[in-house]
Amino acid sequence: MQVGDAPPRLENRISKAHDVQIGQQIITFIAGNQYLSKERKDLILRLNPIYDASHTRHRTTSPPDSACFPGTRKGVIRGITSWADTRIVLSTAPVVHVYWFHGFAGSGKSAISLEIAKIYAGSGRLLASYFFFRNAGDRSGMDRFAVTLAAQMVASIPATASFIKAALKAEPGLLTQGVSLTMQLERLVYEPFRAALKRGLIVNALVKGPFLIVVDGLDECEDRQGVVDFIDHMLDFFKRHPSIPLRFFIASRVEQHIRTRLEKDGVLLGDLNSHSADEDIQMFLRASFQGAAVNDRVIQEYVRVHGEWPGKPDMDTLIWRVKGSFVLASTIFKFIIQPPTEEDPSTPLDRLPLALEMNGLDGLYARTLARSQHLPHFRTIISTIALLMEPLPIVGIADLLGIEAFKVVHVLLNLQAIVHVPGTDELGSVTLCHTSLRDFLTSEYRSGCFFVPPSFHLHLSYYSFSSIFKLSDGSAHDHSKPDFRAHWQAFVDKKGCKVINGIEQFKDQAGQSPDINRVPYHAFLCYMFFHSLSLERLQISVGYSYLFTQCVEQLALAAECPDRPDITRLWLDKRLTDYWIGLDLKIFQLTETTCELLQRNLQRASTAIHAQFPDIPGHRPRSTGMENEYVMEWFLSGRDVFEALQWMVARAQFEWEDSKSILRPPLKFSIDYEKPALRLILAPGVPAWVF
């Protein structure tokens, strides 16, 4: 900036920023010392990246919460930076563009990824960083991976912005849901970088060395095919452009779909397990215990009388127990020094001997969970945190479960060694300190009495569905983020052929202790059975006959339910935002026996609805059965489901009577998820699926 120039506005200048407010968005990935023009801000907003996926995210609310303790991991980091700093013009051997850094859960991969990202952000050579995390919404998938890298590149290499804009202008569909990941990476990341390089726009930056993209936790991505596509496309890109000054540092566990792709020529393998971490862990624990003693008078008095705490024999035992796991070391430390509670008044001096006897992470997790095991709602709360599609704040969990927030806090206070508990009930999310806790909870042979079964997804689906109807105006709570369809799908995927058993168990449990503040569970099941006509896996495991008969039976039971008719009415009236885009044509057959059963239950439902809600008008005139198709909105209410089923029965009966045949063969219907509506069509002559 020349003397006399007006200083830039604060919002246009970003200096090593971590959280930058732009309009209503908070950009957390921008680093370096640069100007961010309005044009580039608009481009970033248009790309719609994930703002908490980079190394500058708030780690306690957007895990993993891992960072290298000062002075540790020097040898490991030196090896990585030596690779990343290799210049193509100075190298006598073929340049390796990809470094795959792997290790077991809890070994410190994410902490090292963070350190590498910070080092190269500081030198201006970090193109982008992306930290995957399971059950963290979009960060556990690939849908916004490419646009997030592109948005970070706009900030780190401003010269690429014009080429990204040109790509979006040439191909407006690049940001739509249907475009492939590889196409987005090619058009929005690789080609703009090459174009800026070819034009000589980033020559000065390259004087320092090649640019680096850090990708952490690739095994945490639940889109396995997306991971495979990303790796294959990346390796092909470097094969086509062997001299490009760009590197990928990828950290993950050794998962089969990743290993088979990355154990190839042209990829440098780094095994974190081959580096002893004992000295680094000892340094971390010694400094951490000394820091804890500063604020603990009990420890101070012990040290005054007995010398250092923990003593050398105990410290050696801790190091041996930890077995190279920084996560275990950190979690053990938190367990030992956590403040006493009414349920557990023990001091750090009391807990140290317990920690010395624990058997790895599993033992520590079991011991910590046991501190709250006796409290009301413990199992429901911990199961919810383990399986949520996206983390929620304390009040969000309380709303979802229909309990008061203080009861959630009561359970969580004893678990702070393994669960991040936000400082307020409304802000921040409750998250697991490490993904290994979720692995522990969802593995029955490891967790025993703390096991969270996959059938709990069905309960979360019901809780999420019910939360939509909790407010008197029918609008959802602000914290009703969990997707009831996604949890239902997860239940179906996990239970497989045992779906019916899981549903019957759910009915028994819900029937024994009904919550009158929720929508009747019958209404939930009715809606989900109708929705499941589109789920091929469920069709195969239970059959259309089960789906139809159960859908109508639960509809009748919901209409007859005497509890909270106001909520039932809301369910009948309120159209939910269902998105059926991309679902194929589904064909099924309706037999006379099934049709008669449907008719009886529909009559029950009709009688109950008119008795309880005589003023509810139908959404359309009652079907005569002569219409050849029935068009529904995408947004379905309970009433819409009822009327669609009525039409199917009326249409089938009309068809059989019109044929004037003694034999009444099964009729074929199809559900066509054609934009902008759902269509139920009588489909003569079309082969029916057999179940």
Residue 573: C-alpha distances to residues 447, 568, 640 (Å):
43, 9, 9
Among 113-117, 239-243, 256-260, 644-648, name the one with the lowest average pLDDT. 644-648
- In 491-646, where do the E strands start and end? 586-590, 629-632
pLDDT of amino acid 132: 95
Are the beta carbons of 107 and 194 closer than 8 angstroms?
Answer: no
pLDDT of amino acid 30: 45
pLDDT of amino acid 25: 38
User: How is residue 99 written in tokens?
Assistant: 């470094």
**The 3-state secondary structure of 429-445, one letter per residue:** CCEECCHHHHHHHCCHH
More confident of the two residues 539 and 107: 107
Residue 178 burial class via C-beta count within 10 angstroms: exposed 0-12, middle 13-18, buried 19 and up: exposed
pLDDT per position as a tens digit, 143-158: 999 999 999 999 999 9
* Domains of the chain by start residue, with CATH: 53-274 (3.40.50), 278-358 (no CATH), 378-450 (1.10.10), 456-682 (no CATH)
Residue 411 burial class via C-beta count within 10 angstroms: exposed 0-12, middle 13-18, buried 19 and up: buried
Tell whether the model's pLDDT for residue 27 goes beyond 60: no
Residue 77, amino acid: I
pLDDT of amino acid 11: 31
Of 115, 122, 121, 144, nearest to 132 by C-alpha is: 144
pLDDT of amino acid 54: 94
Which residue has 């919810």 as its token pair?
A: 384
Which DSSP helix (H) or strand (E) runs through 156? helix 145-156
Cβ contacts of residue 151 below 8 Å, gap of 6+?
Answer: 29, 43, 44, 47, 49
Distance in angstroms (rounded) separating the CA atoms of residues 592 and 665: 8
Annotate 444-455 with DSSP letters as a single string. HHHHGGG---TT
User: How is residue 461 written in tokens?
Assistant: 């689906």
Tell whether the model's pLDDT for residue 51 goes beyond 80: yes
Of 540, 552, 539, 534, nearest to 679 by C-alpha is: 534
What's the pTM? Answer: 0.74
Sheet with strand 211-216: strands edge to edge: 126-131, 211-216, 246-252, 98-102, 267-271
Tell whether the model's pLDDT for residue 277 goes beyond 60: yes
Rounded mean pLDDT of 201-229?
A: 92
Tell whether the model's pLDDT for residue 449 goes beyond 90: yes
- In 150-261, where do the E strands start and end? 211-216, 246-252
Q: How confident is the model at residue 383 (pLDDT cuts 50, 70, 90)?
A: very high
More confident of the two residues 630 and 74: 74
More confident of the two residues 350 and 673: 350
Rounded mean pLDDT of 46-62?
A: 90
Residue 242 burial class via C-beta count within 10 angstroms: exposed 0-12, middle 13-18, buried 19 and up: exposed
More confident of the two residues 119 and 87: 119
Which residue has 């099924």 as its token pair?
A: 588
Cβ contacts of residue 378 below 8 Å, gap of 6+?
Answer: 372, 411
- Residues 327-364: b if buried by 16+ CB within 10 A, e if exposed: bbbbbbbbbbbbeeeeeeeeebeebbeebbebeebbbb
Rounded mean pLDDT of 519-524?
A: 89
Among 69-73, 197-201, 331-335, 473-477, name the one with the lowest average pLDDT. 473-477
Which residue has 């911990």 as its token pair?
A: 382
- Mean pLDDT, the chain, integer: 83
- By DSSP bridging, strand 678-682 and strand 629-632 are antiparallel
User: How is residue 164 written in tokens?
Assistant: 């990204």
- By DSSP bridging, strand 98-102 and strand 267-271 are parallel
Phi-psi region of 48 (alpha: psi -120 to 50; beta: other; left: phi over 0): left
Rounded mean pLDDT of 304-315?
A: 91
Tell whether the model's pLDDT for residue 358 goes beyond 90: no
More confident of the two residues 87 and 351: 351
